[in-house]
Structure 1
Amino acid sequence: MARKKKKSKVRYFIYLLLIVLAFGLGYGAKKIHREIQENRIMHANRDKLLAEQRAKREKQQKFIKQIADASIATYREKYHVLPSIVIAQAIVESNWGDSKLYQVANNPFGIKGSYNGQSISYDTNEYQNGKKITIQAAFRKYPDLKAAIADHDKTIAEHFIKEKNVTSYLKAARLLQENVYATDPNYAKTLVSVIRQFDLAKYDLEAMNINK
């Protein structure tokens, strides 16, 4: 009788052990499956982020090249406004070409007024007495980017950087700030930061036919 009870206890412990093992294995399998799924999601998110970053860089480089080619040609033809300044202004003013003003009116610089009688009205941010406000203004509408850059450089040379042959983007940015091209008190610093971040000064050297 005692032997039967002993066997019964052994069976009980074996069953209990099997249950615990089964539970543990099941939990472990679920945990492994969950970790695999989490890793897949993490890698998918990483790949998506890398793809987005790559697409963003490609878009930025394409925009830079579009502005650079036209600004270098215009520099050599007449007005001698540094391409680095032109490109940086286009980046800042049009948010890398995403602004409606650029997409609809070929105006990447936010130049107000009309061009050959063509204009378009948009809301714009201005600074008055140090405060940022939104107003509606008329902006020039251009037939193409080349016309926009030529008109921009003419405006800059006649009203904001009147000094001839300015070859320093630091000086050019300072003159734009001093002559109130924009009401943003940090405008010059922003331009310089963009020029340095994207190595835009190399286009000045190209325009002036100076090899690095």
Structure 2
Amino acid sequence: MKKFKFKIKTDENGNSIWYPVIAFVIVFGTFGLLFGTYKIRQHINQQNLIKSELAYQRAHDPVLKQHNKFIKQVATPSVALYKENKQVLPSIVIAQAILESDWGKSKLYTNAYNPFGIKGTYQGQSISYDTGEYINGKNVTQVGQFRKYPSLQAAIEDHNQALYKEFIHKTGMTSYKEQAKLLQKNTYATDPNYAKKIIKVIETHKLAKYDKQAMNN
């Protein structure tokens, strides 16, 4: 079998003519590696700077601060209640409070601690306000009688029992989509898009994390 040997070419003085080429490749490769590393670090630093700026904006944005505060106010008792009775998911409670009270800015909430728009009386207490209802496919304004609560805690506890007894009828549910659809099916609200609105609020504000928190005893 014929053997092949790699021959290093040399110049007339016997010096390898590949040394300059090899040296160039090494230098160029090292430079390319360093430059690539620099660009990666620069990109990471830019991303970290953007994240820091966004975090600063979120921390100092008065609207976001108010929204986060309201979510926490509703989330804390909602999580505790689900841990206790496994009835209404916290995400549903929070989303309804956001949607019905406009982040706690409605008169019904500020004057009656009722962020859910629950009608009727609570321990004999009620308050009347105009409300929009869908009748025969049309949105009309009517005067409604709403429950007046002494505190947000009382409102959440009463809301929990009302939803379970009248609209959900199940314990141990883990899907906010299923609960939202049950509210729609059993006419918690006359709005034909109510379930979609609740689900959108939950997903927009990442409220499902409170469901996970409540399920992890």
TM-score after normalising by structure 1: 0.73
In the TM superposition, residue 112 of structure 1 has moved relative to its aligned partner by: 0.3
**Pairs within 5 Å for 1:71-110:** 71-78=78-85, 80-110=87-117
Corresponding position: 1:184 with 2:184: no
SS at match of 2:61: helix
SS at match of 2:145: strand
Corresponding position: 1:153 with 2:160: yes
* Greater percentage in helix: 1
CA distance in 1, matches of 2:71, 2:172: 23
CA distance in 1, matches of 2:114, 2:84: 20
SS at match of 1:116: coil
User: 1:82-141, CA deviations, whole angstroms, 9 ceiling, x for partnerless residues?
Assistant: 000000000000000000000000000000000000000000000001100000011000
**Pairs within 5 Å for 1:6-17:** none
**Residue 66 of structure 1: which of 73, 94, 106 is its match?**
73
In the TM superposition, residue 76 of structure 1 has moved relative to its aligned partner by: 1.8
Q: Is the Cα contact below 8 Å between 1:79 and 1:157 reproduced in 2?
A: no
Provide the residue aligned with 1:196 in structure 2.
Answer: 203
Letter in 1 for 2:107: K
Corresponding position: 1:162 with 2:169: yes
Aligned length in residues = 160
Corresponding position: 1:171 with 2:178: yes
**Pairs within 5 Å for 1:103-122:** 103-122=110-129
SS at match of 1:139: strand
Percent of aligned pairs with the same amino acid = 57
**Residue 147 of structure 2: which of 130, 137, 140 is its match?**
140
TM-score after normalising by structure 2: 0.71
RMSD of aligned residue pairs (Cα, Å): 1.4
Q: Is the Cα contact below 8 Å between 1:79 and 1:154 reproduced in 2?
A: no
Which consecutive residues of structure 1, in runs of 5 or more, have no partner in the other structure?
Answer: 1-49
SS at match of 2:168: coil
Letter in 2 for 1:209: N
In the TM superposition, residue 79 of structure 1 has moved relative to its aligned partner by: 5.2
